[in-house]
Chains A and B, each alone.
Chain A
Amino acid sequence: MATEMNKYIIFEVGNATYGVSTEQVRHVEMVDHVTVVPNANPAIDGVVFSRGQVIPALNLRTRFGFPRQPYDMRTRLVFVQLRHRVVGLIVDSAREFLAISDDMIRPIEQTLTGISGNYLKAVAEVKDRVILLLELEAVLDVDQLEPAPGDLPPAASEALTEAKA
């Protein structure tokens, strides 16, 4: 059976595991210093420099409605590229690459897309792990960021993880 294998960068936010195709990731860095931008969206921790460009740093904890926590040694900035945009995603940790074949990937069930703010593209099950594949388009959508993050159900992804366990 010929199935397509794609590589993903795997990272953790809250207690859930997420994946983004390596094709959409420019590079991953440790968080050094983020310059606060006044009056920016609450999910934007600020801006950083990367290769001469000023890049906004989007805190995925805040974006997904998890409580904020201080940066530590494991915190990473995952620079993702979406068309001409580059945004740094602040995640709890990012430590692995994973090759995932297409037959491990399932679409998100309708009921779940409804409550997870459509930022999930699909779910991959690799051995015993559930990896939520992000729909970057929705994650980085400025208009979806506008309302307070309170309307994003935080535990949706976790509920999914637990349901699979």
Chain B
Amino acid sequence: MSRLLVGPFNRVEGDLEVQLDITDGRVSSAQVNATMYRGFEQILQDKAPHDALVYVPRICGICSVSQSVASARALADLGGITMPPNGQHATNLILATENLADHLTHFYLFFMPDFARPVYAGHPWHAEALRRFAPDHGEQVRAATAARQRWLTLLGTLGGKWPHTQSVEPGGSTRAIDPAERVRLLAKVREFRSFLERQLFAAPLEAVAALETEAALWDWHAQAPLGGDLRFFLTLVRDLQLDALGPGPGRYLSYGAYAQSGGGWALPGGVWRAQTGALEALNPNAITEDATHAWLAHAREPLHPLHGITRPEPDKTGAYTWNKAPRLGGEVVETGAIARQLTSGMPLVRDVVARHGGTVYTRVLARLIELARVVPLMETWLQAIRPTEAFCVPSTLPDEGSGVGLSEAARGSLGHWLVVRRGRIANYQIVAPTSWNFSPRDATGTPGALEQALVGAPVRDGEKTPTAVQHIVRSFDPCMVCTVH
């Protein structure tokens, strides 16, 4: 057995280190270390509750709006505030713009460039991978960066700026949209749709979203194996067996994405069990965090976030990361676009996960399918805005109470738990998507989702930063700054 310490990982958000034990050319055990701690949960202590909306977006520059939305939901829960329909549409538009920008960024800037590495020089598609995805010169990387820049101008209008808007309020959005602005915003959504339909899918969004089975997906691929970047990715899946690389725990968590004014979600959540193909209702009271292997104080047993504590203990023995281990009913779960597509009943994603589980292939595919599904939703939300009606109601927050804000960020389930005493924040706990996916071992020694997914990954002779490990790590689209916060 040999041991590798891998880092710094780039093209993940934030700082990540992975320790690998290698036996017979494969990873036999992995430990995931989130190497940076800033202490947002400590910083938020004793603040005025509404001030959370200034601090929490700054946990993360790539999931900034997602943090705002979760916090606004927790404050709305605290104050019993219901936003008007226009506020809900605007909030969903803001959140969806960020989530889809993140999916685009992940695919083009973070994930695909690895296939342009020299290690793949012998493969027939390598020259094309270089042409499309080399990080500095790749044509598709550059085109996607430009499309992303244009796409995020939606948030200049809807939220003043991105990242770190303060337009997201418990009572709605501070930025009313007038009819002329709606026309412009719709035109921008169509511009992005056009990019996706020309470059990513080489097909209409609705045609991609209508693929129901894996057989249909591969038939569609066979029509033009290099047509568009999704089909190019599928070509790589076959050649490199990415369908078997990096299997997850088989349990998937989504809190539900894009709340609807009448109640319910555009993409309903729950817990999906791949083994039985069954959807279970989420029990938020079953969420706990276990700090046994974190450089943080831990209680006798795992704590529900409403009672969670965050206090650094940098010299703690047995600890190897700043991240706590979130568990749902004691179990390890995976979260992300793949979970959202499973719980919301997307047939193709359910079919590919039934056949292959959560792997590099299915995680990346689910993210791209989500792009195809959510852009049309955004068009309907823009159409549903009623310009003379309110976008925001003022929020009055009580001096005593608690609130829970569950939301879906690009990378998965994000929860904020808030306790207020005498008008000040007495506790604020955040469990981020990558806190789940890149969790350390818990008190029973059970490894987290990535730690499990890395076991079995091939390591080539002489590799110090194994390529397969990089594919698996990036397939989760980790955000390390959110993870620890």
| A, B from the same assembly | no
- Chain A interface residues toward B at CB < 8 A: none
